[in-house]
Amino acid sequence: MHRPVFFIVPCLALALGGCLAKTAIGVVTAPVRAVSQAADWATTSQDEADRARGRDVRRREEDVGRLQRNYEEQAAICEQGNDRACRDAVATQREIVRLRPGLPLEPRDD
């Protein structure tokens, strides 16, 4: 009865040795992987920064376009003598000027 036990125990030790080694390596490298993942989440790649900048520029361009259309309508009404439209046109123009520094300059056709 002792013979099968002596045979099975070494076989199990050999079979489980690889699993234990793999588990031990996984346990040891887990903190390194966690820190690496946290650093990746905490930093922004240049590509991500470029995409975010592009989204911001497009949003500002849309805002300036909308404000420019509003300004033109308000200026037209202002020319007819509406003081309220004149004040609104000035406020809209200030908002356009505030948003413009965040936009890239367009090439001039001189």
Determine the pLDDT at residue 33: 76
* CA distance linking residue 5 with residue 105, whole number of Å: 83
Domain ranges across the chain? 53-103
Q: Kindly report whether the global pTM for this prediction surpasses the value 0.85.
A: no
Residues 29-70 have pLDDT tens digits of 767 777 777 766 677 678 888 888 889 888 888 999 999 999
Q: What is the tens place of the pLDDT at every residue in 72-105?
A: 999 999 999 999 999 999 999 999 888 877 666 6
Q: String of b and e for 99-110 (b: at least 16 CB within 10 Å)? A: eeeeeeeeeeee
Q: Is 74 exposed, middle or buried (0-12, 13-18, 19+ CB in 10 A)?
A: buried
Cβ contact 75:89 at 8 Å: yes
Number of residues that this document lists for the chain: 110
Compute the distance between CA of residue 70 and CA of residue 90 in angstroms, rounded to an integer: 11
pLDDT the model gives residue 2? 52
Asked if residue 21 has pLDDT above 60, the reply is no
